[in-house]
Amino acid sequence: MQMSLVAAASASARPLAWRGAARVALYAAALCGAFILAAYVGRVPPLDRVRGGQSDAERALAGVPFDAPLPYDITLVGAGRGRELPNRVEWVSELPPSEAGAQVLDHLAKSPKWQATQFVDLRGEFRQTFARTGSDGYLTHFAVMTLRAQDARTIVEFEFMRLDLPASMQ
């Protein structure tokens, strides 16, 4: 009779072991699914291109404000994520940095929306920060432009971010 109790106990323990393994597998699958969903919602690589269908370069180029204070006659070199701000676009100009900087200042003088907030001259590299206000007076963009000489040309880096207001403030 005791044998039958031991046999019955081991027979009833087997389904419990399978239930435990199934429960662990279910938890692991739920955890993996939660991580994938969080990466998708947060636009974290490698799922950052799935939503929206745009690469970083396309997003940066599409986000450059139409009235950005840029030098004239520039050629696009690259675009993508910025080092300090979310978006970066890089151009090259055949002008020396002083002339390219003069064109930027000329553009600022003609544009009521862009304001220069800081100017730094570091070892031949001109760095300017800008803020753009909309017609309602709220800030719409913040940007940092760097002009640096390379050979006989000027590299123009424009890093920027769009400041989207919450619906309650619009």
Distance of CA 21 to the CA centre of its chain: 41
| Burial class for 129, CB neighbours closer than 10 Å (0-12, 13-18, 19+) | middle
pLDDT tens string, the chain, 170 residues long: the values are: 455 655 555 555 556 666 777 888 888 999 888 888 877 776 666 665 544 556 778 888 888 888 888 888 888 898 888 888 889 999 999 988 888 888 888 888 888 888 887 777 667 778 888 888 888 888 888 899 888 888 888 899 999 988 876 555 55
Which single residue is written with the structure tokens 């994938």?
36
- Distance separating alpha carbons of residues 95 and 104, to the nearest angstrom: 12
